[in-house]
Amino acid sequence: MVAGLKEPYMSRVESVLSLQGGFDMSHRVRHILKSVLDDLYELGKNVKKGELQRQMKELKKEKVSHFIHTSTTKVRYERAAMKFADYLEERGIKRKRHLNKLDTEQLKQVIDDYFKKLAEEKYSKTTIKVHVCALEKTLAIVRPDIRDYLANDENRIRWWSAGVESRKRGSYVIPNKIREKLKEEHRMIAEAQSLAGFRVREIARAEVDRLNHQIIIHKAKGGRTRILDFSHRRETFEKLASLIEKLKEMHYEQHLKEYYKDIKNACKALGEEYRASHAFRYEYVEKRVEQLKENKEELKDLLNKYNADEETKSYADDENNIDRAVDFVLTREIGHNRLKMSRYYYK
């Protein structure tokens, strides 16, 4: 037993140290990583984290726990570890024998490349921190030679500092997964926001015009009424119209406190930074920008319907200025006056 630790902590630490030898070379890496997390949770779920940290500090002069103590943390680490496993498989590293063929320096490079990829995908600093911790819990047990590299503060800071600043601006990294975690009524609200860029209370003020494939939002922010035209997005319109009608019947706006709480819990479970419900409005804008650039027929039609001047209309055929035409349409759709406000959502 490890000297200096009281029961039951001594045997638990020994269990962690022995995990690395229990896997066959043919086992898939993703299953190994998940198994390690399962074991760490079983070892830690009934242990008081603070007491264990104090015991470890007495032994190693380091206040740390090697275990996982809550189911929420386990789920967050598992999501991160499975994304890393996906990345490994893309590089042909599917089984333990493939992982073991990499020498220490090669594995360090794989890890560096992975965190660079997360940063390029606009993961937040907070989310990248979760991924670093997940690999330190799992990969460092399967490959002990990489433990110090993952624990090195300079490396950790380098990895997560490349992430997006921690803020409530922007869409969620995996918005569909967030919505899947929500209760049915809350999922419907989030989906309506992502399909039309609604502020959350605007759904209650929305009128469905099925004849003209339009959504009219009465007395929105600033007392303005705006019209969203879905003539070129009829399938989306039918889905959105149904959601609006159902949510209004449910009087969804009376339960928004529970909605925000549900989103927050989903974010914790998935290791996402909480950005409230406005993130679904960002999601709409970010997707809509690409839709309008790809479908110039729709862009030109909406410039006419939203009463753009002739100069703005001309931008639709000018690749150097098409952003200005897109900004005009988006500003009308999300309910702002100033053209530059749309870029706040996607730049």
342, amino acid identity: S
For the ranges 64-73, 106-115, 144-153, 236-245, the lowest mean pLDDT is seen at: 64-73
When pLDDT is cut at 50, 70 and 90, the band that residue 223 belongs to is confident
Quick check: 5 pLDDT over 50? no
Average pLDDT on 234-258 reads 96
Q: What is the DSSP letter of 207?
A: E
Positions of CATH 1.10.443 in the chain: 175-346
Top pLDDT among 175 and 46 is at 175
**What 3-state DSSP class applies to 74?**
helix
Please write the tens of the pLDDT for every residue from 90-113. Answer: 999 999 999 999 999 999 999 999
Predicted confidence band at 341 (pLDDT cuts at 50, 70, 90)?
A: low
Measured distance between the N- and C-terminal CA atoms of the chain, rounded to whole angstroms: 56
pTM of the full structure: 0.56
Nearest 5 degrees, angle CA 139-CA 144-CA 148? 90
Q: What is the pLDDT of residues 298-331, one digit of tens each?
A: 999 999 999 999 999 999 999 899 999 999 999 9
**pLDDT for 146:** 94
pLDDT range class, residue 52, cuts 50, 70, 90: low
Per-residue pLDDT reduced to its tens digit, 262-295: 999 999 999 888 889 999 999 999 999 999 999 9
Average pLDDT in the chain: 86
Query: Side-chain half-sphere of 213: how many Cα atoms within 13 Å?
Result: 11
Q: What class does CATH assign to 175-346?
A: mainly alpha
Instruction: Determine the pLDDT at residue 6.
Output: 46
Using 50, 70 and 90 to split pLDDT, how confident is the model at 161?
Answer: confident
Amino acid letter, 262: D
| pLDDT attached to residue 4 | 39
Backbone conformation region of residue 75, classed left if phi is above 0, alpha if psi is from -120 to 50, else beta:
alpha
